Amino acid sequence: MSFRIHPAGIPFVIGFAVAAALLWWLTPWLGVPAAIVALWCIWFFRDPDRVTPGLPGVVYSGADGRIVSVTQAAPPAELGMGDKPLPRVSVFLNIFDVHVNRSPVSGVVTGLHYHPGKFINAAFDKASIHNERQSVRLTTQEGHELVVVQIAGLIARRIICNLRLGQRVAAGERYGLIRFGSRTDHYLPEGSTILVAVGDHAVGGVTEIARLPGSNAPGGL
């Protein structure tokens, strides 16, 4: 697996590295913890290559982290999709997870909306409603509509989304980053089959979290 740093993290890595070097020069006992923080910063902004199978009808996790919620919930109101509850899978990213977001399916970006808000602990369900977020609406070739939402957390104060309306994306394609702790919600079409449970660990662009209606998967939520 290759190791690279996300471009958004390079200024932070340089800043922490310079600070660590200066502190080490002044007094080593201050330089040691500063060096540890600098190394953690490099680890936090890592951006590993992933191979996404891109199987038809499969929804892949849009982020690395722990599944903290599998429920029914209305999609973000700002997208204008109505208030009917849809299957929702939520992934919580702690400060040690890869924070690069990836598209859960192949499709076209048909909606983008940034919503300012609070910075409640992203592990809580109320963060999906009250926190700062960036919502992305995707439409697959088969006409299925999904929503993936980047949600800021208690520590996270910056959401980066590089998508534009009308853009075509492939399943597993990188599209953004949240720093530092955060949450990613996936709203799925009614009748989708959920393949994960609370407590499972997801790998962005690799873990199958659901199958779309008509993909011959048994059951459904």
* CATH number for 83: 2.70.70
Q: Are 68 and 198 in contact (CB under 8 A)?
A: yes
Q: State the first-to-last Cα distance of the chain, in angstroms, to the nearest integer.
A: 35
d(CA 113, CA 88): 18
Q: What local confidence, expressed as pLDDT, does residue 147 receive? A: 97
Q: Is residue 49 part of a domain?
A: no
- Count of domains forming the chain: 2
d(CA 39, CA 167): 35
103 and 70 in a common domain: yes
Q: Is residue 179 part of a domain?
A: yes
Is residue 180 reached through a cis peptide bond, with omega within 30 degrees of 0 on the bond before it?
yes
Which residue ranges of the chain lie beneath pLDDT 50?
1, 217-220
116 and 15 in a common domain: no
Q: Is residue 51 part of a domain?
A: no
Task: Find where tokens 């989304």 sit.
Answer: 161
76 and 24 in a common domain: no
62 and 33 in a common domain: no
185 and 132 in a common domain: yes
Selected catalytic residue, list 61, 90, 135, 182: 182
77 and 21 in a common domain: no
98 and 201 in a common domain: yes
126 and 63 in a common domain: yes
- CB under 8 A, 24+ apart: contacts of 210-213: 210/58, 210/59, 210/87, 210/89, 210/186, 211/57, 211/58, 211/59, 212/57, 212/58, 212/59, 212/105, 212/140, 212/142, 212/144, 212/188, 213/144, 213/189
Per the structure, the complete domain to which residue 109 belongs is given by 58-211
64 and 150 in a common domain: yes
Tokens of 38: 């600098």
Q: Is residue 69 part of a domain?
A: yes
- 192 an active-site residue? no
